[in-house]
A and B are shown apart, each in its own frame.
Chain A
Amino acid sequence: NAGVTQTPKFRVLKTGQSMTLLCAQDMNHEYMYWYRQDPGMGLRLIHYSVGEGTTAKGEVPDGYNVSRLKKQNFLLGLESAAPSQTSVYFCASRPSTDTQYFGPGTRLTVL
């Protein structure tokens, strides 16, 4: 039981490049979330999903897209990366209870 895993752990992009962050959970959780964490800003919700095939916008969705084609996977895409998207990205999942389980994070730098 690996919990929530994220790939990659680190990535450096140039402005305008695209990439996809993968989040996988093996706990059969319905709900999945993407957050970003920035110094002095705390964690902010980007997008979330309440089940396979569904997605919804969070607090800071601009510049990101998501997909949940399989229940266990939640993908976060950056179509044209900008320096403002330099951050640490965390995925989380939860069952019907209130406990969210976070992954170890992906540290992204956009030059």
Chain B
Amino acid sequence: TQLLEQSPQFLSIQEGENLTVYCNSSSVFSSLQWYRQEPGEGPVLLVTVVTGGEVKKLKRLTFQFGDARKDSSLHITAAQPGDTGLYLCAVFRGGADGLTFGKGTHLIIQP
């Protein structure tokens, strides 16, 4: 069973549209991170959410942590081709352990 379930797996939309992708779990987390990965590169951290119900904004990207700290969403307003990439959510395994990742959402923004 996957700890973090991301949906949709693939999403292709036109430039200017809005979209939301999800990261869900049955477990409770102390924090959750979102990364973006572009082809041929490593993931880059976008945001860390810590408090239940927390909302963080990064330009046109809005991240929300669920009230129960089991899920999170990423909303993009007026998507642009530069938003194209693989969006990954991740949580710490505990202590000094590394991250556990979801399988990601492949996002393509067409001009």
List A residues at the B interface (Cβ < 8 Å): 4, 31, 33, 35, 40-45, 48, 50, 56, 58-59, 90, 92, 98-100, 102-105
Contacts and interface: CB of A to CB of B under 8 A. Distances in A.
B48 A41 contact: no
Contact of A98 (B31, B41, B102): B31
Interface in B57-93: 88, 90, 92-93
A92 B42 contact: yes
Nearest to B42: A102
22 contacts: A4-B42, A31-B96, A42-B104, A43-B88, A43-B99, A44-B101, A45-B93, A45-B99, A48-B96, A48-B98, A50-B96, A56-B97, A90-B43, A92-B98, A98-B31, A98-B48, A100-B45, A100-B99, A102-B43, A103-B42, A104-B40, A104-B41
A24 to B, nearest CB: 14
Question: B interface, how many residues as a size bin?
Answer: 20 to 34
B103 A45 contact: no
B44 interface: yes
A45 B41 CA distance: 17
Interface in B11-51: 31, 33, 40-45, 48
A33 B98 contact: yes
